[in-house]
Structure 1
Amino acid sequence: MSDSAVPTPEQRLAQLREAIDETDSALLQLLHRRRQLAAEVGVVKRGLGQPLFVPEREAKLLAARRREAEQVGLSADLIEDVLRRVIRESYQQQQAADVHLEDKKVVVIGGHGALGGLFAERFREAGARVACVGEHDWDNIGATCQQADLVLVSVPIAVTEVVIARLPELPAHCILADVTSIKQGPLTAMLAQHDGPVVGLHPMFGPQVATLAKQLIVVTQGRKPEACRWLLDTLVRWGAQLYQTDAARHDEAMGFIQVMRHLSTFVYGAHLASERADLQELLDLSSPIYRLELMMVGRLFAQNAALYADIILAHPENFAMMRRYLSTFDQVLGQLEQGDKQGFVDKFAEISQYFGEFSQKFLEDSQRLLASAGDAHQLSQVTGR
């Protein structure tokens, strides 16, 4: 080869970039083919009555691909991240009409609302006859609930028990269920109102979800669990993960999962507002972890204020716990104001021991989230999206 045939560094760079573009195009075609196969899998699953999400299958698939990645010198974490995103898209692709409830009549009290509407749509897609009842439909509630197989209550927390008490007599076989974020009060009200099957549900997600695959729904049994089986099986078939607990334990846990978190987030946002902090500057100067934290704070204030007020006010028994939280904050702050570094370090070690092996797991899981968040931030900086 003559010297004139040797590409310059600039030419070689252009050639390599062209080869990368061709490889990316081939990768797109493979992803398209995978999407077609996933759609076919969804059709077969629906025919077999199998659930959309099978944790064991996904875990086995990811473990196998991680091993293959390591064998060819690729990052196993990279391949897992890519596949998790692809699999999530596959679940959305597979969530076509799964008609298996043609013989069921479902009444959704509050079905014109966001969360009630989500469930009404899912039941409708499954072939059930669905009636949505709003505040202005109550005059016909008796006729609407005749021959119902499920009456699902999805109304604001503050009026849930009142609405349950106003329900007409339901068919003996009918399931009475709710989707309220507290469980003891509504479950007690449903058991008093209806002698038939009763179950409490708490979807741990909002109405914005594109699919129920991998979404958690807490289940608190009330009465005749076997008669409620078809409902729970349907939720699993849609891909949801069910967690069974009793109402008291549920409400105790929600004190930390919802009340403490929501109230702390609200106060954090209120403090930023009162200090008139420059949010854009905070974002520009933030590490990925703080950017995520700031996003979670701001996210709260893009949603329904009354909903969060109801969640917090529905758990007055947790106000004492929040006072203890404030006391702990004040004690630590006082310690630092006195310059007691060793006291802080000792307390840190004590808390680290409490978290135990969860600390390392949380660190590894959060690193993956932070990597994705960092990529998304850089992309938004370039594209302006």
Structure 2
Amino acid sequence: MNVGIIGGSDGLGRTLTYYFRDEFEVYITGRDHKKGKAVADEMNVHYIESNAGLANISDMLIVSVPIEHTCDVIREVAPFMKEGSVMVDVTSVKEGPTETMGEVLPDTIEYIPTHPIFGPRTTRLDNQVIVLTPVRKGKWYSKVYRYLESKNMRVIETSAEKHDFMMSIVQVLTHFSFISTASAIEKLKVDISETEDYESPIYNLMIDMIARIVSQNPYLTYNIQSMNNNGAKIRNTFADAVIELKDAINNEDEDKFIDIAINATKHMGDIKNALGRSDKAIGALNYEYSILFNSIGQEVGLKHIYSGKIHTGILESVDGKTAVLRNGTKTKKLRIANIRILLDNELYQWKIDNLANTTQSISCMFPKNVHVETIQKTVMNIDNIIDIKLTDAYNGPQIDENSISLTFEVTALSKEDIEKVIKLFTGFGGIIR
């Protein structure tokens, strides 16, 4: 199946290119042809300069462009789509694109308005939410639905109108309140790094979430605000709530403040569940730091959660933000927020897959009644031993009648690890030949 992604070289479009490239024949377009071709080469997909040309060869055409351009692009490519194909858009606002697709696409072309509720930094599809707002369901709809379920995604089916209202809470209100908070901090000329000495875990999480929102593309954030039909009402209600709360405190109206706080709390739903989730988030942060701190001086593997690159070495130090790793004479500083410490078995497997190993045959005389399997199991418990095989057993004329010469082929990560095996053999009462 040919999957075409208009805007496949940037943002969410690039993320979709990454996910689809191993399962489908993927073609992409982009505003910057030089960059688009580079991304296509990197991802091992095809690049086409024309949106119309892409539409003409695609079985599924995905429109992944800024919200303000989505409807124009839909109109641009609609006449060139082949009969029996399907168009999908992935914008955060659904009413406009849904209406436009219904207007310009013939009955022979199916369309599925879609909103993946995750961003370009998402590294896994498991448990991610995706919303479908179908107007009419054809043969493609069930295929798409089953595919998304097979990826363990949480699929929500609703109308474009309800989607946009829910997004006015999930996105418009959240982004507006977070950016307002960040703007207030900026206007107060507060140095965020200084507040870290006084921060609680909840403050830490809140600042991280605010930073995540304000660091997004401001043009995208603005369009989410301005193009949602419910936006004005949401922002006005938020502003009224802020003023009401401010007036209650400035007027020293304790009863009013308490009334606002209690009513707000009651409306938050399952408070115990919210406390549990936030406690888990705080606990995870503290546990991860504790594991890192207790690993200082030891060999560790640290995986970058976005690039997937693994760094190994001796962990020299850990502070509130940074882990310092030494590998030979080189040191590397890694942001704790962007790394995960590998489990022992993960680090071991990485070494096997990525480091050169060494194999050596070791012949050793043991008492005749020695238990070979016990020797092999014990050797495999030594760090960095990959494999041990018995290749020969001999008790000819040169061997004492109460002894046996055993030859093992040992594979390990280094010669030093082989030496550990030799010491173990002599510890078993063996004599190296």
TM-score greater than 0.5 by the shorter chain: yes
Aligned-residue offset at 1:300? 2.5
Q: Deviations over 1:244-296 (max 9, x none)?
A: 11100000111111111111111111111111112112122011001111111
Aligned-residue offset at 1:223? 2.6
Aligned-residue offset at 1:220? 0.8
Q: Does 1:166 align with 2:71?
A: no
Alignment match, 2:21: 124
Q: What is the alpha-carbon distance in structure 2 between the residues aligned to residue 260 and residue 377 of structure 1?
A: 33
Amino acid at match of 1:149: D
Alignment match, 1:99: none
Q: Secondary structure at the match of 1:210?
A: coil
Q: Deviations over 1:343-384 (max 9, x none)?
A: 22233333333334x112111111111222334566563654
Alignment match, 1:302: 215
Alignment match, 1:106: 3
Ranges in structure 1 where 5+ consecutive residues have no aligned partner: 1-103
Q: Secondary structure at the match of 1:217?
A: strand
Q: Secondary structure at the match of 2:4?
A: strand
Assess if the C-alpha contact under 8 Å between 1:292 and 1:373 holds in 2: no
Alignment match, 1:26: none
**Correspondences of 1:50-89 after superposition (within 5 Å):** none
Candidates 273, 283, 286, aligned match of 1:374? 286
Assess if the C-alpha contact under 8 Å between 1:173 and 1:227 holds in 2: no
Alignment match, 2:345: none
Q: Does 1:222 align with 2:135?
A: yes
Alignment match, 2:59: 149
Q: Deviations over 1:5-54 (max 9, x none)?
A: xxxxxxxxxxxxxxxxxxxxxxxxxxxxxxxxxxxxxxxxxxxxxxxxxx
Aligned-residue offset at 1:309? 1.5
Q: Does 1:199 align with 2:112?
A: yes
Mark the CA change 1:327 to 1:354 in structure 2 (over 3 Å): closer, same or farther: same
Amino acid at match of 2:11: A
Assess if the C-alpha contact under 8 Å between 2:91 and 2:115 holds in 1: yes
Q: What is the alpha-carbon distance in structure 1 between the residues aligned to residue 13 and residue 95 of structure 2?
A: 20
Mark the CA change 1:227 to 1:275 in structure 2 (over 3 Å): closer, same or farther: same
Q: Does 1:183 align with 2:94?
A: yes
Q: Secondary structure at the match of 2:92?
A: coil
Q: What is the alpha-carbon distance in structure 1 between the residues aligned to residue 229 and residue 161 of structure 2?
A: 14
Q: Secondary structure at the match of 1:165?
A: helix
Amino acid at match of 1:170: M
Aligned-residue offset at 1:187? 1.0
Aligned-residue offset at 1:320? 2.7
Amino acid at match of 2:279: Q
Q: Deviations over 1:135-169 (max 9, x none)?
A: 35887444433342101000001100011110133
Q: Secondary structure at the match of 2:27?
A: strand
Mark the CA change 1:274 to 1:205 in structure 2 (over 3 Å): closer, same or farther: same
Candidates 25, 30, 41, aligned match of 1:134? 30
When normalised by structure 1's length, the TM-score is 0.68
Assess if the C-alpha contact under 8 Å between 1:176 and 1:194 holds in 2: no
Alignment match, 1:255: 168
Q: Deviations over 1:305-329 (max 9, x none)?
A: 2211121121254223211211121
**Correspondences of 1:348-359 after superposition (within 5 Å):** 348-356=261-269, 358-359=270-271
Assess if the C-alpha contact under 8 Å between 2:117 and 2:130 holds in 1: yes
Which one is further off, 112-121 or 142-151?
142-151
Q: Secondary structure at the match of 1:284?
A: coil
Alignment match, 2:311: none
Alignment match, 1:243: 156
When normalised by structure 2's length, the TM-score is 0.61
Q: What is the alpha-carbon distance in structure 2 between the residues aligned to residue 346 and residue 309 of structure 1?
A: 33
Q: What is the alpha-carbon distance in structure 1 between the residues aligned to residue 91 and residue 250 of structure 2?
A: 43
Alignment match, 2:390: none
Assess if the C-alpha contact under 8 Å between 1:183 and 1:247 holds in 2: yes
Q: What is the alpha-carbon distance in structure 1 between the residues aligned to residue 91 and residue 190 of structure 2?
A: 35
Q: What is the alpha-carbon distance in structure 1 between the residues aligned to residue 152 and residue 94 of structure 2?
A: 23
Q: Secondary structure at the match of 1:146?
A: helix
Aligned-residue offset at 1:240? 1.7
Mark the CA change 1:289 to 1:115 in structure 2 (over 3 Å): closer, same or farther: same
Assess if the C-alpha contact under 8 Å between 1:216 and 1:243 holds in 2: yes
Select the structure of larger CA radius of gyration.
2
Aligned-residue offset at 1:188? 1.0
Alignment match, 1:209: 122
Amino acid at match of 1:374: N
How many residue pairs end up in the alignment? 280
Which one is further off, 208-217 or 143-152?
143-152
Q: Secondary structure at the match of 2:271?
A: helix
Candidates 276, 290, 293, aligned match of 1:364? 276
Assess if the C-alpha contact under 8 Å between 2:57 and 2:82 holds in 1: yes
Ranges in structure 2 where 5+ consecutive residues have no aligned partner: 34-46, 293-317, 324-334, 336-433
Q: What is the alpha-carbon distance in structure 1 between the residues aligned to residue 274 and residue 156 of structure 2?
A: 21
What do you get for the CA RMSD once the two structures are aligned? 2.1
Mark the CA change 1:172 to 1:277 in structure 2 (over 3 Å): closer, same or farther: same
Higher RCO (CA < 8 A, seq sep 6+): 1
Q: Higher helix proportion, which one?
A: 1
Aligned-residue offset at 1:338? 2.1
